[in-house]
């Protein structure tokens, strides 16, 4: 039988979700923990990949089991997982739905703070920028759902079949002091480092190093810039994953905490 596991994780200590030899990943921690509880190797399939130090306030993976367990898996798994990975739900599924391929929409949030604060450094990206042009950044953000080819915002576009992404919504939000910024975007798929590259361009616009017209030119022309500098990873969250048959609210909403 197939089960979906609904989790969240703070990614600062990890090389990302995906398991790689010689590094610590979220997938490795979960497979090791489940292997201890089931007393045999367990393979998990995640709903996507996150870069090193990127977080997920909502993430799903699936596991296939031959026989249903006879112990409190929810309690025991949370007990042995580290504090920066939490299990929220275990959901039995009919048939063989796929945690990665069946997702129809993913939502990300990217948080920025413009003053040094030791209590935000692990959860939000610090950019010491006091005079960002927020209006220009919002105008550029509003352009994103109008285009569907994000080749200019992909780190390695020639390594994938296509760079089409259907962005359903995008927004930029700022608190009253102007010290905290949240970029929010939803789409059917995302490219390698796409969101961090977009945020980096928005910061360029905010500083006056790029115009909104130049930003739109990249969207329209699909030209890959010679120099691509993604924004810092620690401000990025995978915050919602939606399936045709499963649409759960995230257990933790960081918008209020970080805003």
DSSP state of 83: T
Q: In 15-44, which positions are buried (b, 16+ CB within 10 angstroms) versus exposed (e)? A: bbbbbeeeeebbbbbbbebbeeeeeeebeb
Catalytic residue list contains 84: no
Task: Give me the catalytic one of 51, 102, 109, 204.
Answer: 51
End-to-end CA distance of the chain: 41
Specify the 3-state DSSP secondary structure of 28: helix
Structure tokens at 164: 């089409």
Q: In 175-189, which positions are buried (b, 16+ CB within 10 angstroms) versus exposed (e)? A: eeeeebbbbbbbbeb
Look at strands 236-242 and 55-64 and give their pairing: parallel
C-alpha to C-alpha distance for 134 and 206, rounded to whole angstroms: 6
Answer whether 26's CB lies under 8 Å from 11's CB.
yes
Point out the residues that are catalytic: 51
């Amino acid at each position: 039988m197939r089960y979906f596991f609904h989790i969240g994780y703070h990614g600062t200590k990890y090389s990302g979700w995906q398991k790689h030899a010689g590094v610590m990943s979220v997938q490795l921690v979960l497979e090791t923990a489940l292997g201890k509880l089931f007393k045999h190797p367990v393979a998990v399939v995640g709903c996507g990949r996150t870069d090193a130090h990127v977080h997920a306030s909502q993430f799903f993976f699936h596991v296939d089991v031959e026989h249903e367990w006879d112990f409190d898996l929810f309690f025991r798994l949370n007990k042995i997982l580290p504090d920066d990975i939490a299990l929220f739900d275990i959901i039995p599924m009919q048939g063989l739905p796929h945690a990665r391929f069946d997702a129809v929409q993913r939502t990300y949030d990217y948080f920025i703070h413009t003053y040094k604060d030791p209590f935000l450094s692990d959860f939000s990206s610090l950019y010491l920028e006091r005079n960002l042009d927020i209006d220009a950044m919002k105008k550029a953000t509003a352009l994103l759902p109008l285009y569907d080819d994000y080749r200019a915002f992909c780190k390695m576009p020639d390594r994938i079949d296509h760079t089409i992404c259907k962005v359903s919504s995008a927004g930029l939000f700022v608190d009253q002091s102007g010290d905290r910024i949240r970029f929010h975007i939803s789409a059917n798929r995302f490219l390698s480092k796409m969101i961090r590259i977009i945020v980096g361009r928005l910061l360029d616009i905010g500083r006056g190093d790029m115009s909104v017209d130049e930003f739109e030119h990249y969207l329209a022309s699909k030209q890959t810039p010679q120099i691509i500098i993604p924004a810092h990873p620690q401000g990025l969250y995978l915050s919602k994953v939606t399936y045709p048959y499963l649409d759960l609210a995230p257990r933790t909403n960081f918008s209020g905490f970080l805003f």
